[in-house]
Amino acid sequence: MTIEAFQKQIEDIYYTRDAERGVPLTFTWFVEEVGELAKEIRKQPQDIARLREEFADVFAWLATLASLLGISLEDAAKIYAEGCPKCSGTPCRC
């Protein structure tokens, strides 16, 4: 699945509800999910399946926020296609 296809899938599932909620409140949900990822990262021993789910949730909330703000994540990712956006290095030499 491409980043574009993922963003479209999240739009198909959640866009209407997320649009009704609006950007400010949706952003707080996103931050809450980042917090859940943080908790999962700190857990010992790590549960890879749960970590994977939290990464999926954070990615989904990021995608929905991008959609609400008219941003294509696929286009955004292209900023890194040629290496570090500042020094163009891969790896970064900044």
Write the CB contacts of 82 (distance below 8 Å, at least 6 apart in sequence).
88
Smallest separation, CB 78 to Zn ion (Å): 16
Per-residue binding letters, 71-90, with Zn ion (x by CB under 5 A): -------------x-xx---
Write the CB contacts of 92 (distance below 8 Å, at least 6 apart in sequence).
83, 84, 86
Per-residue tokens: 24: 């400010």
Per-residue binding letters, 26-65, with Zn ion (x by CB under 5 A): ----------------------------------------
**Chain contacts with Zn ion (rule: CB under 5 A):** 84, 86-87, 92, 94
